[in-house]
Structure 1
Amino acid sequence: MVNTDDFIKRLEIILDYYNLTASSFADKIGVQRSSMSHLLSGRNKPSLDFILKIVEFFQEVDLYWLLNGTGSFPKKNESIENSKPPIQTLNSPTPIDLFSEIQTVTQKEKIQEEVKPKSFFIENENPKEIEKIVIFYKNGTFKAYNPNS
């Protein structure tokens, strides 16, 4: 079980290391500012989702260090470099599959071909076509799609 007081101390170390306020840290990892405040005050315990968001966003944070203080912060450069994909060199014994990304692109193209603008018919009415689709994001931004253009 995670010691909440020690976890809060390690969280404050992360905030100091990246020179972030609690609210900017919450925004970066995608949690509510109030949950960050409740956590730092000791009112709430960290959820697994909260911990995983930290480790996912900040690559230098070691999961075991964050949870129970073992390991180091920031991670040693070797462990960060080992998480990167291999680089193909002339002396590599087995070649890297260069066509896997191309297959993914063609799958995306197939999906885009299948998704065509549709007309919706309501009984006893003229056919209606979609003019624009607008998606609103939680951060206040939006994206508009025009299927006919």
Structure 2
Amino acid sequence: MVNTEKFAKRLHKILDFYDLSAASFADKIEVGRSSISHILSGRNKPSLDFVMKVVKTFPEVELYWLLNGKGNFPEESKNQEPVPSPRPAQEIPAQRNFQSPPPQLPQEKKETTSAPFPQTQSLGKNIRKIVIFYEDGTFDAFEN
């Protein structure tokens, strides 16, 4: 769970580092200005979409640092040796074609039978985003 007060402090650090006002920051990440105001004041918690927009727009901001304060942010790491993050940002998958077959599981894992994605066209719906949450608190977001 994200601590809203600490998240707001980290968001303030980002604004200070890039010398941005809350309004210009909202414009850059393409969210409503009131969203930034509500998060900074502690009224609302950040959504997954909000967090992903910050990380995508500002690649210097590490996801784990933004969510829970672990890792580095450029301002803090200038005079310190870098601390490796649990998962570098380069390894976060960008976009996948959901029509391709899923990757093969390693042999030592238990094999499971899985059905392919449902035929969404027969339901009249298209998949926009799939989010996978892992037990260690991390997640991957895949957009179509």
Could you state the TM-score of these two structures normalised by the residue count of structure 1?
Answer: 0.51
Post-superposition Cα deviations, 1:4-43, rounded to whole Å, max 9, x if no partner, equal 0000000000000000000000000000001111111111
Structure 1: which 5+ residue stretches go unaligned? 84-149
Report the equivalent of 1:72: 72
- How far the C-alpha of 1:53 sits from its partner, in A, is 0.1
Note if 1:36 corresponds to 2:36. yes
Runs of 4+ deviating beyond 2 Å: none
Looking at CA atoms only, which structure, 1 or 2, has the larger radius of gyration?
A: 1
Provide the rounded CA distance (Å) in 2 between the counterparts of 1:62 and 1:55.
7
Residues in 1 aligned to 2:62 and 2:9: alpha-carbon distance in whole angstroms: 15
Q: Which residue number corresponds to residue 136 of structure 2? A: none
Please say if 1:6 is aligned against 2:6. Answer: yes
Instruction: Report the secondary structure of 1:71's partner residue.
Output: coil
Q: Which amino acid aligns with 1:3?
A: N
What whole-Å deviation, never above 9, does each CA across 1:95-126 have from its counterpart, x for those lacking one?
A: xxxxxxxxxxxxxxxxxxxxxxxxxxxxxxxx
**Identity between Structure 1 and Structure 2 (%):** 66
Structure 2 counterpart of 1:2, which letter?
V
RCO higher in 1 or 2 (8 Å CA, sep ≥ 6)? 2
TM-score by length of structure 2 reads 0.52
Query: Are 1:54 and 2:57 an aligned pair?
Result: no
